[in-house]
Chain A
Amino acid sequence: MSLERIRNFSIVAHIDHGKSTLADRILELTETLTGREMREQVLDSMELERERGITIKAQAVRVLWKGHQLNLIDTPGHVDFTYEVSRALQACEGALLVVDAAQGIEAQTLANAYLAIENDLEIVPVVNKIDLPQADPEGTAAQVAELVGEDPARVIRLSAKTGEGVAAALDAVVERVPPPSGDPLGPARALVFDSSYDQYRGVVAFVRMVDGKFKTRERLRAMAAGTTFEAEELGFFSPVRTPSGTLTAGEVGYVITGLKDVGSLRVGDTITSQARPASEPLPGYKDVKPTVFAGLFPTESDDYPELRDALEKLKLNDASLFYEPETSQALGFGFRCGFLGLLHMEIVRERLEREFDLDLLVTAPNVAYRVWTKGGDEVEVHNPADFPREVERVEEPVIRATTIVPKDYVGSLMELNNERRGRYHHLEYLSEERVLLVYDLPLAEIVYDYYDQLKSRTKGYASFDYDVLGFQEADLVRVDILLAGDPVDALSLIIHRSSSYARGRALVERLRQEIPRQLFDVPVQAAIGSRVIARETIKAKRKDVLAKCYGGDITRKRKLIEKQKKGKKRMKQVGIVEVPQEAFLAVLNLDTEKRG
């Protein structure tokens, strides 16, 4: 199709503002799917996405509207997936910015709007849920208009639920979003903005054709990776894969590569034609860096190979997932994984447990630190166990947190941020009722229990988003937990000196409760270097024997001892102490439980 008749756009919105419902309605209205084929949130194909009502992977679907080819790229809404959003946005020329008429602008509305502006996208502001009794379409339209610098009259009012106004939104996409620019006759260049893995057909690249054209069976080359492959199939999503034989400049579609190694075609790479290669790749995406790290260990050590395979498979569909083998004395073989944020971590964990049927132990999440050792070396530390005991200087990542709350909660929010070593930046009234509060906070403070505190202290009315600012120096210490004098590597943590005593005490106390009494006294200590900051003792058992054992009791007694023996086998050995899996779980969930 000629470039003039193509529009590439995405829908961006704060979570729950109706993005996926709007996408569903568009598929229906454009007769891409009949009503019978429709199911809620067609584009959210992952079980987890459907269940949580969120989008994790970007999806691209082609619809036809009044003689135009519209490529809709659905994007995730959560802060953790900003990177996925930005990749998807690079494949577009415009975006529908959806705002809930009852909720107004939220933190991610701002984040997404800024992202769209940065990517030079034409923003079509949309107020959704106008059918709700508590909706304020006019007030919300005014807010959005101001945000994006648009005339309030041009804000589309619609209800994705009833379908009212959806056609107007599509018309606006055709009218306002510019057609893709690009050279249809030049050497072919396509941007890989996402990929998935098909176990029969290998890596499937989601691409935006920028210049030129691909044909099925053509030899292609990934410019950055240097990999060559044959385009086994080309096509678009409608919303299922629909082969088209060619992809031309401006179009969005997929390329089945047959590649079995996902590493040989990375998201952000440029695909060109082998026969007539482009000289320059398209500007790539910035390299995404994980911000949150945690150790993942199978609860059954026999499951290690399964965990490795599962991570490999997940990585095929999740380029942002980072992992490397980690060995813990206490937890055995596992992986240190890097995530885009806490939600990302939770999603990976849930997918591993559900889709791959694994039982996992996840260590307390931490951030990446820059450490200067006494010797003057600079190292990046992702694992508390690698944190040098003697350091010259430490820097930790800092974020700029944007929170929007009703004005009554500003006080408690500021209190929370101050407790979390936050630095006030500024405050702004968005309306008479709603306040935008900006703080700079150490990322480590967000990773530890922040979301739940935020939620409980603002009764769920706060919306939150953040950008990573960079690194800053901080007085951080490594706290080790020792059982009978032996450090438990999996429980070490890096923490600001001011909270080290409280956390150390809480951990030690919890371990004392969770570790069963042994045949000897077990001191449980928290220590910074060689200095003990908290100590408890698990007193030795005084009695563990059944009094009565006569002729009729022997079998039962033997079975009880066998059971006791089996129980011991399930425990992890830390030095001379036997620690049940549950004790690690309880300690690692300390944060979670404190929230409740």
Chain B
Amino acid sequence: MSGLGGVRHLYVHLPFCASRCGYCDFVTLVGKAGRHAAYVDALLAELGLERDLLAARLETVYLGGGTPTFTEPEELRRLLASLPPAEEVTVEANPETVTPALARLLREAGVTRVSLGAQSFQPHLLRALERRAGPDDVRRAFYHLRDASFDNVSLDLIYGIPGQSSSDLDRDLEEALALGSEHLSCYELEAKAGTRFMHAHGEELARQAEAMEGYFQRVVETLVGAGYRWYETANFCRAGREARHNLGYWLGHDYVAIGIGAVSTVGKRRWRNEPSLGRYLAALRAGERPPRENESLGPAVKLQERLMLGLRLDEPVSLAAVGGAVNREALARLERLGLVTAGAGGLLLTERGRYLGDAVTAELLV
């Protein structure tokens, strides 16, 4: 457990975007070019307030958004220069923002890894997602990153998009594989009831629901067949190229997160900064912590989370570590159904078990 100064993962939230995509449920702000400097000031002020929690040398830093690369380049440079050093520094980027200059800027600022939000390679699907980039932008951005000698690039793909046929899915996977990124994150579109997106596409999605049920398996089989390791429910990598930052979450490490809407977990404390930009800036200008929601994590909850997150991985969770959260009868039943194995190394979901991970976890928990 980490006490004072032990946290080795830092997340920085950069909420600004050129426009908002219909399906997105992150804390984002459109435009506000004039506030970027003030926001970076505030981030650095918050970092100063939480500095004592962090280890001197970090394992990972992750800049997520929003669109971090939409931030004014000077401000982005200033921010990156002021963050503590880390072994892995990831920045999320949207394809249309990645110019050769930006790629160089990131590289020179010590970024080691870029996560590129490709989502799809097909115009009609990108349009459905309300993305600004076209397929060529995605490829171009990827090559700019390679040109700036990034050897650790991840692509984000979304499947289950309204209007996406199974051959559309195959084509997207083919395109992604052709680029040969070190890492792939593949998310099923999570459209929330009551959103504008659902309003526009809900019927279409309902119609496709049954056909799309097999997409996940299709993604896994294709990528594993191409030599990627399915190391987490939605993440695939070449050997040794796991997203170390995210692995920290799944292994139950502590993390400090700064910026609006950002969630930190340190020991049994979890807090979430309120998503309001105005209040965030005002508080930090006054040298105070921003308004937060606090959550206290009891030992039982810690165990539950440890099990829930650990089961997402392709390496076993030690039964000794999470045994208290496991219903043994359910475990025996799930083993019989071929969904879980409980070996010497601990608990591990089978391939089918991983497709049904949430249901299996719900059943396993006491």
Instruction: Point out residues on A near B: beta carbons under 8 Å.
Output: 519-520, 541-552, 554-555, 557-558, 560-561, 564-565, 568, 576
Shortest beta-carbon distance, A577 to chain B, in Å? 12
Residues of B with C-beta under 8 A to A541: 356, 359
Pick out which of these stretches binds chain A: B186-194, B200-208, B223-231, B314-322: B186-194
Question: Does A520 lie within 8 Å of B262, measured CB to CB?
Answer: no
Question: Does B361 lie within 8 Å of A551, measured CB to CB?
Answer: no
Interface residues of A, dominant DSSP: loop
Shortest beta-carbon distance, A465 to chain B, in Å? 49
Shortest beta-carbon distance, B320 to chain A, in Å? 21
Question: Does B358 lie within 8 Å of A545, measured CB to CB?
Answer: yes
Q: Pick from B265, B270, B308 the residue with the most CB of A within 10 Å.
A: B308
Residues of B with C-beta under 8 A to A576: 333
Is B233 interfacial (CB 8 A cutoff)? yes
Shortest beta-carbon distance, A406 to chain B, in Å? 47
Question: Does A544 lie within 8 Å of B187, measured CB to CB?
Answer: no
Of B11, B187, B213, B265, the contact of A542 (CB 8 Å cutoff):
B213
- Bound-state CA distance A79–B21 (Å) is 66
Residues of A with C-beta under 8 A to B33: none
Question: Does A542 lie within 8 Å of B249, measured CB to CB?
Answer: no
Q: Pick from B261, B354, B355 the residue with the most CB of A within 10 Å.
A: B355
User: Which parts of B244-262 form the interface with A (CB within 8 Å)?
Assistant: 246, 249-250, 255, 257, 261-262
Shortest beta-carbon distance, B250 to chain A, in Å? 8
Of A519, A548, A550, A554, the contact of B337 (CB 8 Å cutoff):
A519
Is B272 interfacial (CB 8 A cutoff)? yes
Q: What 6 A-B pairs come out closest when comparing CB atoms? A: A545-B357, A564-B362, A547-B187, A544-B359, A552-B263, A547-B234
Residues of B with C-beta under 8 A to A561: 304, 308, 358, 361-362, 365
User: Which parts of B295-323 form the interface with A (CB within 8 Å)?
Assistant: 295, 301, 304-305, 308-309, 312
Question: Does B263 lie within 8 Å of A551, measured CB to CB?
Answer: yes
Shortest beta-carbon distance, B158 to chain A, in Å? 9
- Bound-state CA distance A568–B113 (Å) is 42
Residues of A with C-beta under 8 A to B214: 542
Of B249, B304, B355, the contact of A558 (CB 8 Å cutoff):
B304
Question: Does A550 lie within 8 Å of B246, measured CB to CB?
Answer: yes
Task: Known contacts A552-B272, A558-B308, A568-B363; decide if A547 and B358 are in contact (CB<8 Å).
Answer: no
- Bound-state CA distance A565–B337 (Å) is 18
Is B360 interfacial (CB 8 A cutoff)? yes
Is B339 interfacial (CB 8 A cutoff)? yes
Shortest beta-carbon distance, A558 to chain B, in Å? 6
Instruction: Point out residues on B near A: beta carbons under 8 Å.
Output: 11, 186-188, 190, 213-214, 216-217, 233-234, 246, 249-250, 255, 257, 261-265, 270, 272, 295, 301, 304-305, 308-309, 312, 333-334, 337, 339, 354-363, 365
Task: Known contacts A543-B213, A561-B308; decide if A549 and B356 are in contact (CB<8 Å).
Answer: no
Question: Does B249 lie within 8 Å of A554, measured CB to CB?
Answer: yes
Shortest beta-carbon distance, B323 to chain A, in Å? 18
Residues of A with C-beta under 8 A to B305: 554, 558
23 example contacts (A-B, Cβ-Cβ < 8 A) are as follows: A519-B337, A519-B363, A542-B213, A542-B355, A544-B355, A544-B359, A545-B233, A545-B358, A546-B358, A547-B233, A548-B234, A549-B312, A552-B263, A552-B272, A554-B249, A554-B270, A555-B295, A558-B301, A561-B362, A564-B358, A564-B359, A564-B362, A576-B333
Residues of A with C-beta under 8 A to B213: 542-543
- Bound-state CA distance A203–B334 (Å) is 57
Residues of B with C-beta under 8 A to A557: 308
- Bound-state CA distance A557–B261 (Å) is 16
- Bound-state CA distance A29–B147 (Å) is 105
Question: Does A547 lie within 8 Å of B304, measured CB to CB?
Answer: no
Residues of A with C-beta under 8 A to B234: 547-549
Q: Write the chain A residue with the least CB distance to B355.
A: A543
- Number of A-B residue pairs, CB cutoff 8 Å, is 96
Question: Does A519 lie within 8 Å of B339, measured CB to CB?
Answer: yes
Question: Does B309 lie within 8 Å of A542, measured CB to CB?
Answer: no
- Bound-state CA distance A28–B357 (Å) is 73
Shortest beta-carbon distance, A540 to chain B, in Å? 8
Task: Known contacts A543-B216, A552-B263, A555-B270; decide if A565 and B357 are in contact (CB<8 Å).
Answer: no
- Bound-state CA distance A568–B365 (Å) is 12
Residues of B with C-beta under 8 A to A544: 355-359
Question: Does B355 lie within 8 Å of A565, measured CB to CB?
Answer: no
Question: Does A554 lie within 8 Å of B309, measured CB to CB?
Answer: yes
- Bound-state CA distance A546–B361 (Å) is 12
Task: Known contacts A520-B337, A543-B355, A568-B362; decide if A551 and B304 are in contact (CB<8 Å).
Answer: no
- Bound-state CA distance A552–B337 (Å) is 32
Shortest beta-carbon distance, A572 to chain B, in Å? 16
Residues of A with C-beta under 8 A to B265: 551, 554
Q: Write the chain A residue with the least CB distance to B255.
A: A551
Question: Does A549 lie within 8 Å of B233, measured CB to CB?
Answer: yes
Shortest beta-carbon distance, B21 to chain A, in Å? 14
Shortest beta-carbon distance, A310 to chain B, in Å? 35
Shortest beta-carbon distance, A499 to chain B, in Å? 33
Residues of A with C-beta under 8 A to B217: 542-543
Q: Write the chain B residue with the least CB distance to A520.
A: B337
Residues of A with C-beta under 8 A to B354: 545
Task: Known contacts A542-B213, A545-B354, A547-B187; decide if A552 and B359 are in contact (CB<8 Å).
Answer: no
Task: Known contacts A519-B337, A545-B355; decide if A550 and B188 are in contact (CB<8 Å).
Answer: no
Shortest beta-carbon distance, B91 to chain A, in Å? 15
Question: Does A519 lie within 8 Å of B255, measured CB to CB?
Answer: no
- Bound-state CA distance A541–B216 (Å) is 12
Question: Does A552 lie within 8 Å of B358, measured CB to CB?
Answer: no
Of A519, A549, A550, the contact of B359 (CB 8 Å cutoff):
A519
- Bound-state CA distance A546–B309 (Å) is 11
A-B contact sample (8 more), CB < 8 A, given A520-B337, A543-B356, A545-B356: A519-B334, A519-B337, A519-B356, A542-B213, A550-B246, A551-B11, A555-B295, A564-B362
Residues of B with C-beta under 8 A to A548: 187, 190, 234
Shortest beta-carbon distance, B2 to chain A, in Å? 15
Question: Does B190 lie within 8 Å of A552, measured CB to CB?
Answer: no
Q: Write the chain B residue with the least CB distance to A552.
A: B263
Q: Write the chain B residue with the least CB distance to A518.
A: B359
- Bound-state CA distance A548–B158 (Å) is 11
- Bound-state CA distance A520–B272 (Å) is 39
